[in-house]
Structure 1
Amino acid sequence: AARIAAFSAADAATWRRLVAAFPAEAEHLFRLLGSPMSARALAGTAWNLWRKKGMSGALDTGRLLLSSPRAWLEETFESPHIRATLATWGMHLDFAPDIAGGAVFPYLESMANQSFGMVLGTGGADTIIRALSGMVTSAGGKIVTGAEVAEITVSAGRATGVRLASGESHTATRAVIAGVAPKALTGRLLPNGSGDAGFDTAMQKFRHAPGTMMIHLALDDLPDWRAGAELRQFAYVHLSPSLDAMSRTYQQAMAGMLPDEPALVVGQPTAIDPSRAPQGKHVLWVQVRMLPAEILGDAAGKIAPDHWDKVKEVYADRVLDIIETYAPGLRNKILGRAVFSPIDLERENPNLVGG
């Protein structure tokens, strides 16, 4: 709150009030987000919300769930800097400032991070993979990799197992859980449909949000941020100057244009975990939000439309130019870089449709 007070004393007071109220609010929001999408479950959640918060409080929660990030932020905070800082959390989850229903994500991310912090696994991102796989195997489960599922087998309207591309079959005793993109589920894994025509139609009409570029840098040293040396201590630095800039980026990407000033999430993991790089060195990753899967033009008018394979390095240069304005001298610290376009990300994981 002290940092917020440097921009607005009123916003600092608002922040303290929101943080104090968060445990009670989280109970209702997490229950709702974790409920099955059935009329009975939702009715039970609504009843519990009304019983504990009353009509006025329940309506306030409903308004938060339906609001856009901009509507909630402009109503709640007065500083444009605070609004922009919190709005970038919505951009992580494809909720640009003017997308209805997106306000809850900047709210939850900011409040949860303030209340519980953010966890980084020592040694690298595979920490969570090893932890989850350990939970499965310790419970007697078996994990098989490199085994492509060709089809989910169905009998009497229920999923009964899977057939692999190799021809091998596995029978499910309780359920088949498919962590795949919606169109892959009903379009490929269930070639004859799920048996629920409404569900199948909804899956086929699912529209993916704009894509992402990832830039990984090996550095001699962390960036020297113009905003202050303190930023070298943080694992995340968001770069996007305003709500309007984020909205413009979203509209440009949806129109197939390369954004002139994309929102950037700069990760500095070695600021927290030095084991991720050789002694005295650092790594940096940059998540570039949001980008089109197919390039139809360039909002800045400098890059000719072409396939991402031919454009990604040039666009990565634009991103580094933007970071340079916030952290002069970054380029001189770069020892190596690897750029993954939206199409590269989809190649690595087909569920990342369009990146």
Structure 2
Amino acid sequence: MTMHDAIVIGAGHNGLAAAIHLAARGWKVAVVEQAAEPGGAVKTREVTLPGFRHDLCAMNLSMFAGSAFFAAWKDELIAHGLELVPAPDAFCSAFPDGSWLGVSASLDETASRISAISPRDADAWRRMVADFGAQAPHLFGLLGAEMPSPQTARTVWKAWRAMGTSGLLDIGRMLLSTPRDFLDAHFESDRLKAMMAAWGLHLDFAPDTAGGALFPYLESMASQAFGMVIGKGGADTIIRSMTALLRAKGGELLLGTAVDRIETDGGRATGVRLSDGKVLRAGKAVIANAHPKLVFGKLLPSDPKRAAFDARIAGFRAGPGTMMIHLALDRLPDWKAGPDLHRFAYVHLAPDMGLMARTYAEAAGGLLPREPVLVVGQPTAADPSRAPEGKHVLWVQVRVLPADITGDAAGTITARTWDEAKDAYAERVLDLLETYAPGIRSHILGRSVFSPLDLERENPNLIGGDNLSGSHRLDQNFLFRPVAGWSRYRTPVEKLYLCGASTWPGAGTGAGSGFMLGRRLGGK
């Protein structure tokens, strides 16, 4: 029996952030990970051909680069191998007629593109960027505070002092708005609105979903202000540097080690029992960087005293499913919209809000969408080290899909399980890619497809292929994440804490929940 101050279940970046902070505060910490490699949804692997490094899920590291965790540990992370690569041409949308619109870190470049469509919108874009400079400290302060907490109240107070009641109400209104309503209120061009609204489907915000305006606004404005950041050689640069830093602080990392159950005594978490029967004791905390349904449905025995809480966790809704298609290419796609698109980290194939709404409704109804939204990542445009010289990798995220298939909106795929349907649906995706990048199939050297079910097999936290670890709609966000009354990482089991994408501030690579929990337990 081994004693530690804290046991962390799961070596995703949030669990590692908590472990690093606690180890630096003198805690004896062990991180236990069932997979053979750390990282959770931040992994890079040669899944097509040797020498082609593909980010399995997360690619964009802008949230990590802008995080409080990175600010606190930047120098030491860099000393332990962290390398980030700027992508000043962040994202664009391609349209079926061969036109495109994109956001680059140069405001003049972006505004010029918008002006060609609508001079009025170009002026509105410049105003929005200027307003973002005033709003950003308060929005990021909100995202970096426990919810609710005195820090949240101070953030709101500072926002009111800086912007007045009107400015504070503008932020509040945006936090509640649908993407469509927010964008209609600011712009006239359907293409500009579609370009921004596509970010909503990175989460689970269709154009008419309340609370969905924030992410398109933040991603668009942050990309304009700062560009995008990806990892040199792969997104796993953050994981490699974090695990190295953890070990340098005296923390342990146990890979290929599954937790069979969380040990309790008198309603208090005391450690974990591993699948081989070994018990690790925790004197101060057990931190589960895992989906709450796994924690309270698998790792803990049922307890009548927890019945109401467990029922609410059982009702925690997943977001929609995702498919990932990784391609090794002999060249970047020959985009119909032109070679300028080769500069961009992301190319969205989401031409209008009507299509986005239909796709979401089809997936929500269990149907394979007739035309999904595609997020096409071109990491080798900014980081050629990920592929052999002159070659490229393509990262294709297919949004949004059902976890369980009840039918096909196009009426051509008869399979009703993902193991049977994934190849046929991948072909539909490639057919769609062909309409925007003619001839792309002839440039494919290798491919690897992960269906929603495959993603769950790869990472059990991605239930049903939900890469969000739970819907981010208003009733499961802010102080309601994962459930009301338990948004500050505590649980009804004393000394058992949750972190990760299922907790506030949700999905992404910002390490927010892990770092906030680490500071809460170990002090700032």
Residue segments in structure 1 that go unaligned for 5+ positions in a row: none
Identical pairs, percent: 60
- Residue 136 of structure 2 corresponds to 26
Conserved 8 A contact 1:163-1:169 = yes
Query: Alpha-carbon deviation of 1:164?
Result: 1.6
Query: Alpha-carbon deviation of 1:251?
Result: 0.7
Tell me, what secondary structure is at the counterpart of 2:374? strand
Given residue 325 of structure 1, which amino acid in structure 2 is its aligned partner? T
- Residue 96 of structure 1 corresponds to 206
- Residue 238 of structure 1 corresponds to 348
- 1:9 corresponds, among 119, 125, 128, to 119
- Residue 192 of structure 2 corresponds to 82
Q: How does 1:110-125 map to 2 (within 5 A)?
A: 110-125=220-235
Given residue 340 of structure 1, which amino acid in structure 2 is its aligned partner? F
Query: Alpha-carbon deviation of 1:200?
Result: 2.8
The answer on 1:64 being equivalent to 2:174 is yes
In 2, Cα distance between the equivalents of 1:271 and 1:42? Answer: 39
Given residue 174 of structure 2, which amino acid in structure 1 is its aligned partner? L
Query: Alpha-carbon deviation of 1:47?
Result: 3.0
Conserved 8 A contact 1:86-1:110 = yes
- Residue 331 of structure 1 corresponds to 441
Cα distance 1:108–1:120, how it changes in 2: closer, same or farther (>3 A)? same
In 2, Cα distance between the equivalents of 1:47 and 1:196? Answer: 36
- Residue 107 of structure 1 corresponds to 217
TM-score, normalization: structure 1? 0.94
In 2, Cα distance between the equivalents of 1:196 and 1:22? Answer: 43
In 1, Cα distance between the equivalents of 2:361 and 2:463? Answer: 18
- Residue 318 of structure 2 corresponds to 208
The answer on 1:171 being equivalent to 2:281 is yes
Query: Alpha-carbon deviation of 1:135?
Result: 2.6
In 2, Cα distance between the equivalents of 1:29 and 1:199? Answer: 30
The answer on 1:150 being equivalent to 2:260 is yes
Deviations 1:22-52 (A, max 9, x none): 2331221122222222365544443333233
Cα distance 1:154–1:52, how it changes in 2: closer, same or farther (>3 A)? farther
Query: Alpha-carbon deviation of 1:196?
Result: 5.3
In 2, Cα distance between the equivalents of 1:242 and 1:276? Answer: 32
Given residue 95 of structure 1, which amino acid in structure 2 is its aligned partner? F
Conserved 8 A contact 1:186-1:193 = no
Deviations 1:93-117 (A, max 9, x none): 1212111111111111111122222
Segment drifting more, 22-31 vs 277-286: 22-31
Given residue 144 of structure 1, which amino acid in structure 2 is its aligned partner? L
The answer on 1:130 being equivalent to 2:249 is no
Given residue 396 of structure 2, which amino acid in structure 1 is its aligned partner? V
- Residue 302 of structure 1 corresponds to 412
Query: Alpha-carbon deviation of 1:173?
Result: 4.0
- 2:378 corresponds, among 251, 264, 268, to 268
Query: Alpha-carbon deviation of 1:191?
Result: 2.0
Query: Alpha-carbon deviation of 1:157?
Result: 4.0
Residue segments in structure 2 that go unaligned for 5+ positions in a row: 1-110, 466-524
- Residue 55 of structure 1 corresponds to 165
Cα distance 1:192–1:44, how it changes in 2: closer, same or farther (>3 A)? farther
Query: Alpha-carbon deviation of 1:158?
Result: 3.9
Given residue 286 of structure 2, which amino acid in structure 1 is its aligned partner? V
Cα distance 1:168–1:261, how it changes in 2: closer, same or farther (>3 A)? same
In 1, Cα distance between the equivalents of 2:350 and 2:121? Answer: 20
In 2, Cα distance between the equivalents of 1:110 and 1:276? Answer: 26
In 2, Cα distance between the equivalents of 1:14 and 1:193? Answer: 56
More helix by share: 1
Tell me, what secondary structure is at the counterpart of 2:191? helix
- Identify which of structures 1 and 2 has the higher relative contact order when contacts are C-alpha pairs closer than 8 Å and 6+ apart: 2
Query: Alpha-carbon deviation of 1:53?
Result: 2.1
Conserved 8 A contact 1:220-1:282 = yes
Segment drifting more, 113-122 vs 101-110: 113-122
In 2, Cα distance between the equivalents of 1:201 and 1:108? Answer: 34
Conserved 8 A contact 1:194-1:200 = no
More strand by share: 2
Query: Alpha-carbon deviation of 1:154?
Result: 3.2
Conserved 8 A contact 1:186-1:194 = no
Runs in 1 of length 4+ with deviation above 6 angstroms? none
